[in-house]
Structure 1
Amino acid sequence: MRKWLFGLILLVPIVEFYGFVYVGDQLGLGKTIFLTLATSIIGGLMMQFEGRKIMADAKMKANGGQLPGKLVLNGICVFGGGILLLIPGFVTDIIGFLLVFPLTRPLLRYPIRKWVERKLKNGTITFFRR
């Protein structure tokens, strides 16, 4: 895990820098800065809206005696996407919008579910009860 984290800490800023340079060459500095701020604001608002919707649906299911398993994964996607949207950059914004937007979220929810299942099976992720 530490190798991946170290690699991401090095790779993400480099990729984002090249993204800023490319977009800046195409649109100009002012429009690039505006676009960066706009995607962060729109992404934050989308995260709030989708997060509230997921919480309301989860409460409704829990009150009905059902387990909100799929909604938990949706919540993880929205939370992770929101974090990516708040990071300045275009590549992280694209991935963040894919995670937050309800029509594209199912495409990424399946691999995330498989990853969590694999981590639970090999004991990397554990849950403790109090």
Structure 2
Amino acid sequence: MFKLFLLLLAVPVLEIYLIIKVGSAIGGLPTAALLLAVSLAGAFLVRSQGFRILDQVRGELAQGRLPAAQLLDGALILLGGLLLVLPGFCTDLIAIFFLIPATRRLIKLWLGLWLQSRLARGGFLVRRHY
């Protein structure tokens, strides 16, 4: 919980710092235009990738298969879209990694390895509420 607090505190500070640095290097208006351009490009990626994944989910369901990989892709695209809403360069960069199919594959591979290691260590606790 403390790590999440530190993350929520550090990200805005880092974003403000980078916006100020970029703004002082290229000017305020170009910095705002750059942030807007990245957000618009990201919104286009979210839309196109989201519709592509939706078509894949429909195809898998039509064939009677569970679209687990496509649902994970959809979740990563949604997370990327949410990160694009936040103003700043770091969150936009991370969002782009969630939106590009090649980097999304790497993220899914990493998530799979992380999940396997957690399961092997017994890192997940199941609580039953009766």
Task: Please name the residue that 2:29 is paired with.
Answer: 30
- Which whole-Å CA distance do the structure 2 matches of 1:30 and 1:125 have between them? 52
Bigger CA drift: 19-28 or 107-116? 107-116
Amino acid at match of 2:124: N
The total of aligned residue pairs comes to 125
- Which whole-Å CA distance do the structure 1 matches of 2:127 and 2:112 have between them? 13
Q: Percent identity?
A: 32
Contact 1:78/1:100, CA 8 A, preserved across alignment? yes
Q: Which runs of 5+ in 1 are unaligned?
A: none
Bigger CA drift: 116-125 or 85-94? 116-125
Amino acid at match of 1:90: F
- Which whole-Å CA distance do the structure 2 matches of 1:123 and 1:67 have between them? 26
Contact 1:81/1:97, CA 8 A, preserved across alignment? yes
Amino acid at match of 1:10: L
Amino acid at match of 2:40: I
Bigger CA drift: 106-115 or 37-46? 106-115
Extract structure 1 runs of 4+ deviating beyond 6 A.
none
- Which whole-Å CA distance do the structure 1 matches of 2:99 and 2:31 have between them? 22
Give the secondary-structure state (helix, strand or coil) at the position aligned to 1:10. Answer: helix
Deviation at 1:113, TM superposition (A): 3.3
- Which whole-Å CA distance do the structure 1 matches of 2:33 and 2:114 have between them? 36
Amino acid at match of 1:85: L
Structure 1 segment 1-130 matched on structure 2, within 5 A: 2-115=1-114, 118=118, 122-123=124-125
Q: Which runs of 5+ in 2 are unaligned?
A: none
Deviation at 1:115, TM superposition (A): 4.4
- Taking structure 1 as the reference length, the TM-score comes to 0.84
- Which whole-Å CA distance do the structure 1 matches of 2:54 and 2:61 have between them? 10
Deviations 1:40-69 (A, max 9, x none): 122122111111110110110111011212
- Which whole-Å CA distance do the structure 2 matches of 1:108 and 1:31 have between them? 31
Deviation at 1:124, TM superposition (A): 6.3
Question: Rg: which structure is higher?
Answer: 2
- Taking structure 2 as the reference length, the TM-score comes to 0.84
Give the secondary-structure state (helix, strand or coil) at the position aligned to 1:93. Answer: helix
Contact 1:44/1:86, CA 8 A, preserved across alignment? no
